[in-house]
A and B are shown apart, each in its own frame.
Chain A
Amino acid sequence: MNLFSEAAQFLTDPANWSGATGIPQRLLEHVGYSVLTMGIALAIAVPLGLWVGHTRRGGGMIVGLAGALRSLPTLGLLTLFTLLMGLGLMPPILALVLLAIPPILSGTYSGVAAVSPALVDAARSMGMTEGQVLTRVEIPVALPVILGGIRNAALQVLATVTIVAYINLGGLGRYLIDGLAVRDYARMLASVVLVAVLALAADAVLALVQRLVTSPGLRLAGDRP
């Protein structure tokens, strides 16, 4: 329990709350890497998932691709890319993007593919173009599921960004790696607690967003969040 109070001391020490190695700076780096990763992953996975979900062609390929990406160990990709491309921001971001794609991709695809065909046919018979069917019917109906996938991906990325400190980048994992090097257990503990708090906070915010953007029509239907 002594270690917990030491970690609490580390967290409340004003010296740790300012400067280039302070908690706010590390937090900013941590969130920054995560946002960059999510931006790239969303730009790739959402259009692909929408397209496959809408055309309902290649669904098996998406499931296979997501499964294959999922079994790749992120730490392995991180170290491999770093060795091949050198130290820097992009190698770890690339590894994290590969981590974030499967949940977003399968969430988007399964969300759109699960929209009732009758609903889609009704939209078409009302004269909607394919683009309108996608943006006015399929996406709104699938949105809670799509956001569920995105939320899942964001959580994984926030948790995993911790290990980019292993290859000399910043983020909250810095305290973990530095603490490990000098056997400062309290600092390691502070690091992982900060990451957990960040993850819980992000999850709560994303859950709220998910609730807010859910179409009232879906909420009336009653069986979806």
Chain B
Amino acid sequence: MNWLSNNWSTVLDLAGAHLIQSIVPVVVGLLISVPLARLATSRRWLRPVFVTGSSLLYTIPSLTLFVVLPLILGTGITSVVNVIVALTLYVIAILVRSCVDAFESLDRDVLQAATALGYKPVRRLFGVELPLAVPVMIAGLRVATVSNISMVSVGAVIGIQSLGTLFTDGLRRSIVSEIVVGIVATVLIAIVLDQLLRLLGHVLTRWQRTGTTTARERRRAGAARHASASGRDDRTGGGDPEGRDSVAGAPGGAGAVAAVEARGDRA
């Protein structure tokens, strides 16, 4: 591990570049996916378009996008912008589908109750629909984030700087510890970000846990739980290729979450 103490700052720089290339796509992808998914929920004909589109997009290998995007964007081949745009597209491919599922699984009674209570559409979206969709969205975000982190390193093959550079450089110079440091750093980043997202999901879904709350909050939590535990049976999963219905028998929201997690990532 002498190598690490001599190259500390290089590793930190590359880890920073790696983080930017994996986190920016997740944030941008989320900001694009939620409105798209919401749109697909209200305009039903858009749903098959999005579902087919996202699975086609997901079939395109990341290296293909890394090489083709510079031609479209006018960027250099080693620019991190290519990676960020490519991974944003993958994040959208993952998230639009899980967000559509999340929005469609919302209990209509809850939505009607919210409207009856005087919630205008925008307030209902932010106050009721989005919070209820959080568990499924977090599951999708976790899959997207972890798969991004391992995909970013592939860019090193064509010279894009990230922790993957430690792999190509370590191979060229036959330094085993450089590669090991790269692997450990990549896995660490994946674990830390995954746990942060889990924590975020935990904080955002306080309504799922009862016991320390007032009676009014308990009632609200009950309604919310009911919302996430029903309405999964009306899905027409025909033709869905990715085993996303694998846990259709599991109760409610948990089923959707597990379905998202059951989908693989890629390099």
Contacts and interface: CB of A to CB of B under 8 A. Distances in A.
Given A70-B146, A74-B267, A107 B262 contact: yes
B61 A99 contact: no
Contact of A79 (B64, B163, B167, B241): B167
Interface stretch (A20-28, A31-39, A127-135, A149-157): A149-157
Contact of B61 (A84, A107, A149, A195): A195
A224 B171 contact: no
A177 B157 CA distance: 8
Contacts, number: 200
A80 B266 CA distance: 19
Interface string B140-178: 000000110110011011110001101110110010100
B186 interface: yes
A46 interface: no
Nearest to B262: A110
B14 interface: no
Interface residues of B, number: 65
B239 A71 contact: no
B64 A196 contact: yes
Given A79-B179, A153-B264, A155-B266, A163 B63 contact: yes
A224 B190 contact: no
A80 B264 contact: no
Nearest to B246: A145
Interface residues of A, number: 66
A189 interface: yes
Contacts of B149: 71, 73
16 contacts: A72-B150, A73-B164, A73-B267, A76-B153, A80-B167, A80-B183, A99-B267, A103-B264, A106-B262, A159-B62, A160-B154, A166-B171, A192-B66, A195-B63, A223-B233, A225-B245
Given A156-B265, A223-B238, 18 more contacts: A70-B150, A75-B168, A83-B179, A106-B261, A110-B246, A110-B258, A149-B264, A159-B61, A160-B267, A166-B157, A166-B171, A167-B171, A192-B64, A195-B64, A200-B59, A223-B235, A223-B248, A224-B245
Interface of B: 56, 59-64, 66-68, 71, 77, 146-147, 149-150, 153-154, 156-159, 163-164, 166-168, 170-171, 174, 176, 179-180, 182-183, 186-187, 190-191, 194, 233, 235-250, 258, 261-267
